[in-house]
Structure 1
């Protein structure tokens, strides 16, 4: 195997289980992956993958190639981290990942102010609702909403949060009579978040036994849009519900604690000047605006 880069294609196919997904992960075309894999198998004189209806599965030879590729990947990543950890200059690339919602609310503004202060640092936004791997160097810094940050990461708690129940102004007027009496059994629609459980939240059901789920959303921005459209009562982080002029809090239901916001990186990179400076800058910016997130 004269071209070590071929192992990168072997590993991508093994992880993806197919050519199309491997191509996306490598940012190349489907035909490129297929051509490189076929050429490698021809040069080595053996099949590395069985082509099955459900996808590609490594052969015995393929497993050996995948094992070697994983070792090389680990070594390259470790070398990259060790070299990056020696960087003491306030310049160079800095990749920040977070959910799109966080960029939309304050993080983009934080990055803009940071860029004005440190123009030699090349910032990159990576908006992703799924957690990208800092260990695999998919990003340098992650801003995450969590109560249990990965113990293998280093970070700063930026600020705490609360969440509350909101409704549109029109919804409040339409159901004013039902909502004016606690324990009213009248039907009352609510919008729920897939990742918080699909049933009616217990606090809402305790106050309004007739509450029912009208919609389940898997995205917080979409959920806010549904609440704003009058599809029901919805629980939202205070930073998302309070600033919206079309929404009001449901009376009688107090805000409750929500997950914290953390700024995280690899321990090996915590002393890299641009990363250390950004972590402190972002955490301070969130703390200064904590009233928005706590619903004060």
Structure 2
């Protein structure tokens, strides 16, 4: 007989995340625990329920028929557990308030938010901020992240997404790489390109590269936009970069690239929309984007 009081809620939460991801390693990354811990939780849950929930193999973890049935009941429960965590963070008060965790891309954190933390601290010296480099929306749903900035609009009903100023993208190189050449005369088919890692998949920059037939010109790739910028500054080649950051680094734009603009979204959970401390942080984020990405910020 199954003891309802003995059900491991951490095990159920891990089960739901693994089911969403299809991978123990990805689930472990989202939950900030080891793969061994995830595996141990799943083993314990399967033993408690007397059911095999996953078929685990080198290609991931696939739900069994029983696992799919259990997921339909467990997933709403996991959302409620996340809601409890979010509400607890929002309701906490006093001198030991938790940090506000903001999740964003590396470039946004390094070039938009971090340089303007002093403005937020001047407004509220007691506030503490954690800046997390991530593209994952799962941590926001789980209650471990308070605010996220994403380059794709999420559509979950539980989330609020507000559009931020458009980020103009362009191709940039250093004066040393150009070696006196007119940027208007550059033919990309005969240049060295430094680009985002193909592991990012079909993001706008990678689709543009394929459409232009320039994949053979790429001499260096990285998952880090800041690495691409530093390589461009060092004269390695031409890189796709946010205009505001590239110009601040002294790089020269190669005109008429036709790279698509990026639309960032400020994302937060509906449960926290009226929390004064989080409202203050969200207003600061909007102001930081306006300062960084306005035409004046691109000078």
Common topology (TM > 0.5)? yes
TM-score by length of 1: 0.73
Does 1:197 find its partner at 2:206?
A: yes
Structure 2 match to 1:233: 238
Give the number of equivalent residue pairs: 285
> Does residue 213 of structure 1 match 2:223?
no
SS in 1 for 2:150: strand
Deviates more, 1:99-108 or 1:212-221: 212-221
Pairwise CA distance, 1:274: 0.8
Q: Does 1:11 align with 2:16?
A: yes
Contact kept? 1:158, 1:260, Cα under 8 Å? yes
Name the TM-score, length of structure 2 as normaliser: 0.72
**As a proportion of its length, which structure holds more helix?**
2
Match of 2:284 in 1: 281
For 1:200 and 1:94, how far apart are their aligned partners in 2?
A: 37
Separation (CA, whole Å) in 2 of partners of 1:222 and 1:46: 47
Pick one of 266, 274, 277 that aligns with 2:269.
266
Q: From the superposition, tell whether residues 228 and 201 of structure 1 become closer, same or farther in structure 2 (CA, over 3 Å).
A: farther
Matches of 1:229 and 1:74, distance apart in 2? 47
CA distance in 1: counterparts of 2:161 and 2:51, whole angstroms: 47
Map 1:137-216; keep pairs closer than 5 Å. Answer: 137-145=143-151, 148=153, 150=155, 152=157, 153-154=159-160, 156-173=162-179, 176=181, 179=182, 182=185, 187-193=190-196, 195=203, 196-197=205-206, 213-215=217-219
* CA distance in 1: counterparts of 2:33 and 2:125, whole angstroms: 32
User: Are residues 1:96 and 2:99 paired?
Assistant: no
1:62-86 deviation line (CA, Å, top 9, x unaligned): 3343333212112223445566666
Which ranges of structure 1 fall in alignment gaps of 5 or more residues?
Answer: none
Q: Which residue of 2 aligns with 1:118?
A: 124
Q: Contact conserved, 1:237 with 1:293, CA < 8 A, in 2? A: no
Within the candidate set 78, 83, 93, 1:73 is matched to 78
Match of 2:248 in 1: 243
Over the aligned positions, Cα root-mean-square deviation in angstroms equals: 4.1
Worse-superposed segment, 155-164 or 64-73:
155-164
**Is the 1:94–1:140 Cα contact (8 Å) retained in structure 2?**
yes
**Partner-residue secondary structure (3-state), 1:242:** helix
Is the 2:244–2:292 Cα contact (8 Å) retained in structure 1? Answer: no
Please give the alpha-carbon distance, in whole angstroms, between the structure 2 residues aligned to 1:184 and 1:50. Answer: 52
* CA displacement at 1:212 relative to structure 2: 7.0
Superposition deviation, residue 145 in structure 1: 4.2
Worse-superposed segment, 45-54 or 98-107: 45-54
Gaps of 5+ in 2: none
